[in-house]
Structure 1
């Protein structure tokens, strides 16, 4: 599946908003002492990597093929 440029722009805008809000939540966890500053930094770094991966793939998530369980 390939998205049009307009579709990619719309998804990018939404993904940026989601990323920003998720980072706000992580910052609050750090502020409240639930996470250390290092943990918060690590998590937000991984979030940025995930966003960049999505962007590089045209905002089409890579869906894993279903795994068949053998009896």
Structure 2
């Protein structure tokens, strides 16, 4: 019985110590967004457009080699284009990371 009590007490104390750990509080900190200048936005847009074009070429190669169907490729390209438009609407800000700790996966 003594062993069980000591193990429970140790586990509880370790749990309480981890509550104040800086890494646990780091997730709660809100990231600030940066306001890009027009020159920075145009440079990021140029790079993002190049990435989009490269992804389209890659998907076309997968279709050519038979790894994807044309319908799957069209769906993927459509998704990439929607993502680019969303990034453009949000001034190319990186979306905040959403921690997965609040989700209950069953």
With the length of structure 1 as denominator, give the TM-score of the two structures.
0.89
2:93 aligns to what?
60
- Deviation of 1:68 (Å): 4.3
2:67 aligns to what?
34
1:24 and 2:57 equivalent? yes
- Deviation of 1:61 (Å): 1.6
1:10 aligns to what?
43
Runs of 4 or more above 6 Å deviation:
none
Deviations 1:14-47 (A, max 9, x none): 0000110011000000111100000000000000
Residues of 2 paired with 1:20 and 1:10: CA distance? 15
Q: Which has the higher contact order (CA 8 A, sep 6+)?
A: 1
Q: 5+ unaligned residues in a row in structure 1: which ranges?
A: none
Higher Cα radius of gyration: 2
With the length of structure 2 as denominator, give the TM-score of the two structures.
0.61
Q: 5+ unaligned residues in a row in structure 2: which ranges?
A: 1-33
- Deviation of 1:66 (Å): 3.5
